[in-house]
Each structure stands twice: as C-alpha cells, then as structure tokens.
Structure 1
C-alpha cells in the first residue's frame, strides 16, 4: 500500500517573487496529525550543452544564499505555466550565448523533496551554435567550457557541488555510455 498524507488545512505564511511558504496540517497514515512547512516554487530547467570538442558549457556565478560563487550548468526558474523545454533553451542562450540543433530530456530532479515543491527539468543539447548572451539585469556570469571527462573529477573533488548539475551530468554520462547521445 502506498504511503500518503492527507492535507487537513493550509496556512499561507509568506508570498514572494520566487517562492511562497505554507504551513500545512496533515493526517498521517497512523491517524495522527502533523505539521509540514512547504516552500512552493514553479520549478526550473537546466541544460547540459556539449560542443564538438566534447566540452560542457558551465556558468560561474555568485549565489547569495551560499555567499560564494558556484560553478553550474546553465539553468533558470520557470515562469508560472511555462514549458520547461522552452525555458531550458532560453537559459542556454541567455546565460551561455549559444543555441543548439539537438536536444534530449534527461528527466527531472527533485532538489529538496523534504520541504519544497521545486522540480528541475534536465536537458542535454548538442550541435551548438554561437549566439549572444542576454543576461537579466541582476545576473552576472562567466561562461566556462570544461572537458566532459574532467567534470567527474571536479565533482569528486568538490569543485562542482550543485545538485542539478551533478544529476544532469551523470544522466548524460549514462546516455553517452549507451551510445544514445
């Protein structure tokens, strides 16, 4: 029998530009009540773009929540109701300044399923073309190309520790191993 919780009530705690937070009262499968604090988020899209030299495009940017620069694949949040595939294509152009002829879905990633509704849609792209960056006014990134084989070493060394990037990389690595990308 699947495990479930039944929502009894929901209290709005905070509504912001990117997230809103609720305090939910739920009925557990043992008949007891419990409280869940939930961060609601529209989700995001992340894209691993592989060039003809077998390099992945990364962006390095300052992330305020961690108070440091993070090296990650191009990604961005979804607008309400936005198609994740179009968001991934948009972010690839906006952040890395490239477009692609071929795309494949790498599935989804749930970054913080204990308290957040965010789902990140993962994609890979190849047969790339140079375009131009179109960064948001509050966005400052440096584009870096890293050889595909070196990325695993950087993940193992803790130089790349962004969850969506790690998930996309290893899913793409599995497809490449099977000759599917």
Structure 2
C-alpha cells in the first residue's frame, strides 16, 4: 500500500512570526479525501552543553502553552537561511553566556509530526568558553548547572518533561565516560 497523501488544495489560515498554519485537502491512500491542519515552522536547534566541571547547563523557562516552567537544554529557532550549527552556537551564547565551536550532532527529531513539520537538531557541546548572554527582550529564564548524578536522578524520577531535553540527557547517560 502506498503510504502517502496527495495534496489537492491548500488554504493559509494564519501567518505568524514563528509559525504558519495551513489547511490541506488531501487524497488518502484508499482514494477518499480528508483535511489536515498543518503547523509550518522554520526549525530549531538545541544544545546539550557540558562545562569543564562536568555539569550540564540547563535553562528554567515558563512555557505559556503548558502554564508552568520546564527545565530544558538551551534551544531556539532557526532564522531564515541560517545554518543549523551556526544557530546552535548563537543560541547557546545568547541564552547561557557560554560559547563553543566544538559541536557534535546527536540527532534530529520531529516533536509532533502528526501536525507540525518542525525539525529540531540536538547538538552536544563541550570545550565551553565564557561569553555574554543576550536574551531576546521577551525571553526570561534562569540558568542552572546540573551534575551528571542530578541529570540521572531527574531522568529516573520523570522530572524531565521536555522531549529534546530527555533525548539529550539519555544520550549523555548512555555515552558519557563516568570515570572522569
């Protein structure tokens, strides 16, 4: 069975600063038609940053859609035409004040592929240097450093609710040389 949907028509519902929303009329694999509401996003990057003292840099940030704060690895959206690695370096420094060019791609994920096309690239960063934080005027967060043991406790206890952060922490716990 062919597992694709052919777009018959598109309607732009909303054009925003961060997302666009479209309604698509599609032809299903069985020949029937249906409608899909699709959120279009330019993409994002996130950074699992490990300090020279083997601490993970995280941000605590209020998320309006959830009405509470989350602990997350630093992250941000891509600017139009921006390369993902450059965005990761920029976002790390803007949010945390740390800088590096030593990035390794952990992987790329789709958070909600049922209705959104946002791809998030997750990077590992070390060899950090002190830089200068430069938050957006509507961005408020607290920077925290977690030991590897604290990361393990938070993952094990279910206190990490953000998908990109959970993926990054699990990568760290599987790949980190604990004898350091």
TM over 0.5: yes
Cα offset, 1:93, TM superposition: 0.2
Q: Which runs of 4+ in 1 moved over 4 A?
A: none
Q: Which residue of 1 aligns with 2:131?
A: 131
Instruction: Give 5+ residue unaligned stretches, structure 2.
Output: none
- Give the CA RMSD over aligned residues: 1.5
Q: In the alignment, is the contact (CA less than 8 A) between 2:20 and 2:40 conserved in 1?
A: yes
Alpha carbons 1:51, 1:126 under 8 Å: kept: yes
Conservation of the 8 A alpha-carbon contact between 2:152 and 2:173: no
Once the two structures are TM-superposed, the CA of residue 101 in structure 1 deviates from its matched residue by 4.3
- Are 2:89 and 2:101, in contact at CA under 8 Å, matched by a contact in 1? no
Separation in 2, partners of 1:15, 1:118: 15
TM-score with structure 2 setting the length: 0.92
Distance in 2 of aligned mates of 1:126 and 1:2 = 44
Q: Which residue of the partner structure matches residue 57 of structure 1?
A: 57
Counterpart of 2:160 in structure 1 is 160
- Whole-Å separation in 1 of the counterparts to 2:44 and 2:134: 18
Task: Report what 1:102 is aligned to.
Answer: 102
**Matched pairs, number:** 177
SS of the aligned residue for 1:145 comes to strand
Stretches of structure 1 that go unaligned for 5 or more consecutive residues are none
Answer whether contact 1:106 1:172 (CA < 8 A) is retained: no
